[in-house]
Amino acid sequence: MSCGAFAFKDALVAEIARRGLQDEALVVATGCNGFCERGPILLVHPDGVFYQRLSSADVPLLVEEHLVKGRPVPRLMYVPPEGGLPVPKMADIEFFKHQRLIVLRNRGRIDPEKIEEYIAYDGYEGASKALGRMTPEEIVAEVSEAGLRGRGGAGFPTGRKWDLCRREPGSPKYLICNGDEGDPGAFMDRSVLEADPHAVLEGMIIGAKAIGAARGFIYIRDEYPLAVSRIGIALGQAREMGLLGRDILGTGFDFDLEIVRGAGAFVSGEETALIASIEGQRAYPRQRPPYPAQSGLWGRPTVINNVETWANVPSIIRRGAAWFSSLGTETSKGTKIFSLVGKINNTGLVEVPMGIRLRDIVYAVGGGIPQGRDFKAVQIGGPSGGCIPKALLDLPIDYESLTQAGAMMGSGGMIVMDEDTCMVDIALYFLRFTQEESCGKCSPCRIGTRQMAEILARITAGEGSLEDLEKLEALAATVKRGSLCGLGQTAPNPVLSTLRYFRDEYLAHIVDRVCPAGVCKSLIRFTIDPEKCVGCLLCLKACPVKAISGERKKVHVIDQDACIRCGACLVACPAKVRAVIKHTGGKAGASREGATAPKDA
């Protein structure tokens, strides 16, 4: 969408009409394909040919060559980063080859605003089976045996949660879909809600039968208007077909869903805060126990699950627990969607079996680090998670192994970092996020995250001391153990994890007053090498604060006091010249040459 896909589609439709091919070639706008890096993307069926990075200008050639003459166009196909021949078929592209699509199975092949297309691909079969031929106990047993664990972050066994709620004597019971997706860098729930909304609806219908609920809520963060719209359309279509509402499919089972739009805060993704939000209250978390399964929405037994968790359910019921549990590891079954972002060639959404090695995600699926930089770490789990360093690249991705390594599965956000990323800066970034999003109810999180963020800010400004590290660790313990909810309890994780694996980097900032990655503005400076400078005025013009002085063909000089360390000069200086140098280490303290321009691609 943001890369001009709609414009491309319109151009394609127009050209097909102009060539009189509208009865032979159908253009379907599907949801997110996952390979975000390469959009707009076109898949030609039945050939399975994959085109990427298209623009409206490519339309005439594509229609002429592929649709009319049957000759696929290599120029518009995917070429791997390391070079070589174009890869025509999607199934052969590394990015897709290693993925196993369960939640994203309808990716790229249905129009999310047409329920018929969802149904055509075995849609609502699971619901039909659950409602018509299974008892609540059987449904719960199937989900339990499958080993599905909550995909929102904590990984609690879904079947057990459903069973606890099913057994609760209270009524009425409620179902909630947590579509608040607040982690920065996570957008898998968005993709499911927008591209395959019926998967969520079907999962919830099955869940409703399992626990005995007649009413459910889909809580979608207000920043996802398209998701709200698509779910709304899906609900309408499902009701029209008798798949929601009274006496679903003639089985006598009543269930309906409504959308609740989010209140605009990260904390409303916490389950008890989300429940408070639906109740119309301020999104403050509540002490657990009691857990929502016993006392949730309006004090009634409530099952609340993440979007991805719900979307797994129809496949489990349709294909069976044995099939699902054949994927993954001993303790973590099935697949997980990760949003691969950051310093990675193939940014996008990937659904891979649990147990896949991190190395394979980064290099095989992800295509490695751009511009030949060195891998440094992967942040997994967003602001609640931690980083996995190079030494642990062979770690199999599952709930337990990630927790042991000091990270967390979380929502599945995977931010890849290279040698140009400062880990202290990353910790500060996440802590600032948590601090700003802290609801403020409990003292340890509200005040503790602020104190931690201030210490980190001082460290990145080159004003830290070794005592600060002790304080940071003590604070982390207080916040972790004292906080009321998951936000506070996991807020120190990025700090603890970076301290564990990158302590040297902290010490460099504190003792040497140096930022090895060359990021922290107070600890870097830019200079112009007088022997290389050709006096071209390019950096002078690029500088936003006019800190560079010089004349044509005369050596330019950067005024260090005026410089704001934005790096525009480094980018402006021509590749042949490379006169601008970034150093780390201030005037006082060791000066170490940091990275200069990127290595040749």
Partner 1 sequence: MKLLIDGRAVTAEGTPTLLEVARANGIFVPALCEHPALEPYAACRLCLVEVKGRKGFVPACSTRAEDGQEVMTATAEIQALRKGILELILAEHPHACLICAEKPSCDDLKSTIRKTGEVTGCVLCPANGRCELQRVVEAMGLGLVPFPSHRRPGEVRRDDPFIDRDNSLCILCGRCVRVCQEIRGASVLTFVSRGSETVIGTALDRRLLDSACQFCGACVDVCPTGSLMDRGGRYDRPAEAGTKAVCALCGQGCRLNAGIREGRIAGTSPDMDGPVNRGQACVKGRFLVGPALSHPRRLLKPLVRENGSLREAGWEEALDLAAKRLAAFAAGEVAVSASAQSSCEDLFVLQRFAAEVLRAPAVAGPWTGSAAAGLRDLGRTAGRALPLNFRMTDIDHARTIVVIGEDLPVTQPIVGLHVHRAASMGAEVIKVDAGKRALGLVSRLDRSKPAVILFGPSLVGGADGPARLAALEAAAAATGGRIIALDREANVRGGLAIAEAFPTLPASTGARALYLAGPHPKLKPGEAELVIVQGSYGDEISALADIVFPEATSFEAEGTFVNVEGRIQVSRPAVAPPGEARPGWRILQDLAGRLGAKGFGYGSEADVRAALAEAAPAFDAAALAASNEGPAFLAEGPAGAAAFAGRDAGRGRGRARVAAPLDPDDYKGLSLVLENKSLKLVRGRRCPRS
Q: At what angle do helices 125-133 and 307-319 cross, to 10 degrees?
A: 70
Give the pair of three-digit tokens for residue 34.
């996952």
Measured CA distances, 199 to 123, 124, 178 (Å): 8, 8, 14
Q: How far is the CB of 154 from partner 1 (least distance, A)?
A: 13
Q: How far is the CB of 263 from partner 1 (least distance, A)?
A: 11
Nearest CA to 101 out of 182, 188, 229 is that of 188
Q: How far is the CB of 391 from partner 1 (least distance, A)?
A: 29
Residue placing its CB nearer to partner 1 in the complex, 144 or 451: 451
The H or E element spanning position 445 is helix 443-460
Q: How far is the CB of 405 from partner 1 (least distance, A)?
A: 20
Contact residues: partner 1, CB under 8 A = 265, 267, 282, 284, 286-287, 435-444, 446-448, 450-451, 454, 471, 474-475, 477-478, 481-484
Contacts of 534 (CB under 8 A, 6+ apart): 553, 577, 579
Residue placing its CB nearer to partner 1 in the complex, 419 or 473: 473
The H or E element spanning position 272 is helix 271-278
Residue placing its CB nearer to partner 1 in the complex, 299 or 598: 299
Residue placing its CB nearer to partner 1 in the complex, 40 or 444: 444
Q: How far is the CB of 460 from partner 1 (least distance, A)?
A: 17
Q: How far is the CB of 468 from partner 1 (least distance, A)?
A: 11
- Cα 476 from Cα 66, distance rounded (Å): 59
Residue placing its CB nearer to partner 1 in the complex, 284 or 375: 284
Q: Could you tell me how many helices (H) and strands (E) the chain has, helices first?
A: 23, 16
Give the pair of three-digit tokens for residue 575.
């590749």
Q: How far is the CB of 149 from partner 1 (least distance, A)?
A: 18
Residue placing its CB nearer to partner 1 in the complex, 226 or 447: 447
Q: How far is the CB of 489 from partner 1 (least distance, A)?
A: 8
Dihedral of the alpha carbons of 492, 494, 500, 504, in degrees to the nearest 10? -120
Residue placing its CB nearer to partner 1 in the complex, 53 or 282: 282
Q: Are strands 213-220 and 173-179 parallel, antiparallel or unpaired?
A: parallel
- Cα 36 from Cα 48, distance rounded (Å): 18
Residue placing its CB nearer to partner 1 in the complex, 267 or 311: 267
Q: How far is the CB of 289 from partner 1 (least distance, A)?
A: 8
Q: How far is the CB of 569 from partner 1 (least distance, A)?
A: 36
- Cα 279 from Cα 578, distance rounded (Å): 60
Q: Is 415 strand, coil or helix?
A: strand
The H or E element spanning position 375 is strand 375-380
Residue placing its CB nearer to partner 1 in the complex, 96 or 284: 284
Residue placing its CB nearer to partner 1 in the complex, 128 or 483: 483
Phi and psi, residue 521, nearest 5° = -60, -35
Residue placing its CB nearer to partner 1 in the complex, 450 or 592: 450
**Residues composing the chain:** 601
Residue placing its CB nearer to partner 1 in the complex, 357 or 446: 446
Q: How far is the CB of 246 from partner 1 (least distance, A)?
A: 26
Give the pair of three-digit tokens for residue 51.
């085109």
The H or E element spanning position 348 is strand 348-353
End-to-end CA distance of the chain: 28
CB 544 within 8 A of CB 564: yes
The H or E element spanning position 173 is strand 173-179
- Cα 377 from Cα 393, distance rounded (Å): 9
Q: Using alpha carbons only, what angle is made at residue 54 by residues 50 and 55, rounded to the nearest 5 degrees?
A: 155
SS (H, E, C) 232-294: HHHHHHHHHCCCCECCHHHCCCCEEEEEEECCCCHHHHCHHHHHHHHCCCCCCCCCCCCCCCC
Q: How far is the CB of 478 from partner 1 (least distance, A)?
A: 4
In whole angstroms, what separates CA 209 from the centre of its chain? 31
Q: At what angle do helices 197-211 and 188-195 cross, to 10 degrees?
A: 90
Q: How far is the CB of 168 from partner 1 (least distance, A)?
A: 17
Q: Is 23 strand, coil or helix?
A: coil
